[in-house]
Amino acid sequence: MQITAHTDGQTVISTFEMTPGTCTDVLDALNDAYDKVIRFQPGFLGGAIHVNDAQTRISTYSRWQARADFQAMLRTPQMRERNREIARLCARFEPVLYDVAAVFSPGKPDEAP
């Protein structure tokens, strides 16, 4: 999945807070949701799941063709049920919709100012 600043799509970054004891359960639930539901939804372009080293936070990153595609996925019966379970396992979780403002690629040492 290529990140570009000039796209009409929608970026969604969700953060999940939990205890280390429930991190594996939340991770399993998210992996299952992406594998069995989310990746098959219209407008889904790709996503990733990240876990911090303390196992107290998980962040997901997903790209959608349009905001409406992400919102429609959230309204499906499968995701409504899954999100209730994920919410039960987390202290809190929050999906936030973003627009890409800038993108940076690695530079070469001889190009540094």
**How many residues are given for the chain?**
113
Residue 105 within any structural domain of the chain: no
Q: For position 1, what pLDDT does the model report?
A: 60
Residue 108 within any structural domain of the chain: no
Contact 70, 62 (CB under 8 A): yes
Q: What percent of the chain stands above pLDDT 90?
A: 79
Measure the CA–CA gap between 69 and 41, rounded to whole angstroms.
8
Q: For position 95, what pLDDT does the model report?
A: 92
Residue 4 within any structural domain of the chain: no
Residue 5 within any structural domain of the chain: no
The parts of the chain modelled with pLDDT lower than 70 are 1-7
DSSP string across 18-37: --HHHHHHHHHHHHHHHHHT
Contact 14, 110 (CB under 8 A): no
Q: For position 2, what pLDDT does the model report?
A: 65
User: Could you read off the pLDDT of 34-44 as tens digits, one per residue?
Assistant: 999 999 999 99
- What is the DSSP-derived secondary structure letter of residue 76? S
CATH number of the domain to which 36 belongs: 3.30.70.100
The two tokens of residue 87 are: 């919410």
